[in-house]
Amino acid sequence: MDDQNRTKRSVESRESQMRPKRWVPPQLLPEPEKEDGWDFRWIRISTLNAPDAVNISTKFREGWEPVKAASQPKLLMLNNPNGRFPDGIEIGGLLLCKTPIEFTRDRDAYYQEQARAQMESVDNNFMRESDARMPLFNERRSKVTFGKSI
């Protein structure tokens, strides 16, 4: 065999064949490192440098708590020592907060039930106007077809 004419495997790498990475604009808010059992959210604490005490107190009563900057080392540089929450992570009037994942699941289930009850109420109100001579139809299914119908 002619081993001298073969190129080495180390030269034939995927890295040399890959396209160069493209520039993408930076995200406004960095994503925190996930912790098991916790959900994260950026919560508004001020608008145009005016404190939003109603919003932040409502969120605290819902179970959200500020994330300590020490628990998110990659976001430590975003800590504002002169802000209202010196141990927290603030960016542009937003504070990084966390809550147990059970709270967010319960909240989601609550709002799903609220939406279901509202749709049921609308349906009942709509169908009340139905007349046997010209019935109204309340169909919530859609049908997708492709090609020619035969």
pTM of this prediction? 0.60
SS3 state of residue 83: coil
**Does position 81 have pLDDT exceeding 90, yes or no?**
no
Band of pLDDT at residue 39, cut at 50, 70 and 90: very high
* Tokens 């976001």 -> residue: 75
SS3 state of residue 139: coil
Domain boundaries, the chain: 38-100
Max CA pair span of the chain = 91
* Tokens 């109100």 -> residue: 125
Band of pLDDT at residue 44, cut at 50, 70 and 90: very high
pLDDT by residue (tens digit) across 89-146? 888 888 899 999 999 999 999 999 999 998 888 877 766 676 666 666 656 666 777 7
